């Protein structure tokens, strides 16, 4: 366990379903991130939150809706997804601040399949 917990580990959903991915960390970090990793592609940064405020949206389609109710929890709400959205969704956290010394701690990811 890395200290960043993602649930569920696997999710199969239809294109008309609504589902949510959950990420939780108790590392005392104030920045949280969503990344997407499609098959045989590099990780793509989707969203960044600092102190519960969204500071980065990397041109993500609106069918992905993030929510950060507090610094320990991050959600990704999914609705009307497409089969090409099938991927490994990874959550990460880090201390927030301008020091270049901080790395990320990643969760194990949610493997999403859209059918």
Q: Using CB under 8 A as the criterion, which residues of the chain lie in contact with other proteins when the complex forms?
A: 2, 4, 31, 33, 35, 42-43, 45, 48, 50, 55-56, 88, 90, 92, 94, 96-109, 111
Chain-centroid distance, C-alpha 106: 10
CB nearer to other proteins: pick between 13 and 88: 88
Torsion of CA 5, 102, 87, 3, to 10 degrees: -10
CB nearer to other proteins: pick between 64 and 94: 94
How many residues does this entry show for the chain? Answer: 115
Shortest Cβ distance from residue 115 to other proteins (Å)? 19
Query: What would the two tokens of residue 59 be?
Result: 């041109």
Chain-centroid distance, C-alpha 75: 7
Whole-angstrom distance, CA of residue 82 vs CA of residue 62: 12
């Amino acid at each position: 366990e890395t200290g960043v917990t993602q649930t569920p580990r696997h999710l199969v959903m239809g294109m008309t379903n609504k589902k949510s991915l959950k990420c939780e960390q108790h590392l005392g970090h104030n920045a949280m991130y969503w990344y997407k990793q499609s098959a045989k592609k590099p990780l793509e940064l989707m969203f960044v939150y600092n102190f519960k405020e969204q500071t980065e949206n990397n041109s993500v389609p609106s069918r992905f809706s993030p929510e950060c109710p507090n610094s320990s929890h991050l959600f990704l709400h999914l609705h009307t997804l497409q089969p090409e959205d099938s991927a490994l969704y990874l959550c990460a956290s880090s201390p927030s601040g301008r020091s270049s010394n901080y790395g990320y701690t990643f969760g194990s990811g949610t493997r999403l399949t859209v059918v």
